[in-house]
Amino acid sequence: MDPVEPSQGWGVLHLFYRVDRARADNDLGREGKRVLDAIESLVADGHQALLFAVLGHKADLGVMALGPDLARLQAFQREFAHAPLSLVDSYVSLTELSEYTSTEDDERARLETEQGLVGAAQEASLAAWRERMAHYQEQRLHPQLPLKRAICFYPMSKRREPSANWYTLPFDARKRLMAGHARVGRTYAGRVLQLITGSTGLDDWEWGVTLLADDPVALKEIVYEMRFDPVSAEYAEFGPFVVGLVAEPADALARVGM
């Protein structure tokens, strides 16, 4: 199968399954081995997969798979179809850079107005800023996901109501609002890894939000605090939330009885 590679970023699949015990042929261990083989093959092809046991009724097993080739991700999904797993929900998105990310001109102006830096001192600060931004952009487009203990996923879109239409706001206003939103998120650095992936034109919502943390309380706190930010309070619509316990693939399968 010919690869299908986005010109920027990676493909991301969130897949949610129920264990179909009627199809298990009384040998869930063997079927679990088939799933592990599919994951090992995907990783060998330069992709990533996180498995998690879902809390609540929405699914038993969650899979987050991402990497450069959409065709390879689709083949991976097809391999899972041979296991005793019934797909109950899914989400398709791409990693992306935010259009509201600060530019070098923005940073230059900030250094002048907030720190009074000009000349050589400004250039030294800009050089450090460029290095940080290169790392940030690489992590947004080609993230390496850590094995945290808990995961939260939800889709979201921006409102289009007459009194709160995100898409009728001027770009500068949207950028200013998103800068405030990002400041809230940065206070959770080290506690919560946030991956925002774009799905406009690819799925029913506009973005998928994946949060990873060792402490489930941090997941609750970041979402709660961001609800008070105007970007969420006035302009955001949220889809269903799915929460799970992340583990090594074999351990995650064991948690769901495979």
Domain ranges of the chain: 11-96
CB burial readout 145-164, b (16+ within 10 A) else e: beebebbbbbbbbbeeeeee
Catalytic (active site) residue 100 = no
φ, ψ for residue 26 (rounded to 5)?
60, 20
Q: How far apart are the first and last CA of the chain?
A: 30
What would the mean pLDDT of 51-78 be, rounded to a whole number?
A: 98
Q: What is the dotted CATH code of the domain comprising 11-96?
A: 3.30.70.1030
DSSP 183: H
Assigned token pair, 108: 């230059």
Say whether pLDDT at 24 is over 70: no
What would the mean pLDDT of 179-195 be, rounded to a whole number?
A: 93
| Predicted model pTM | 0.93
Portion of the chain with pLDDT greater than 90, in percent: 88
Say whether pLDDT at 28 is over 70: no
Q: What is the DSSP string of 189-249?
A: TTT-EEEEEE-TTTSSSSEEEEEEESSHHHHHHHHHHHHTSHHHHHHEEE---EEEEEE-H
Summary mean pLDDT of the chain = 94
pLDDT band at 213 (very low <50, low <70, confident <90, very high): very high
- Catalytic one of 91, 154, 188, 235: 154
Reported as a single tens digit per residue, the pLDDT across 132-145 is 999 999 999 999 99
What would the mean pLDDT of 152-162 be, rounded to a whole number?
A: 97
Reported as a single tens digit per residue, the pLDDT across 2-17 is 999 999 999 999 999 9
Residue 167, helix vs strand vs coil: helix
Length of the chain: 258
Confidence at residue 30, expressed as pLDDT on a 0 to 100 scale: 77
CA–CA gap between residue 227 and residue 181 (Å, rounded)? 10
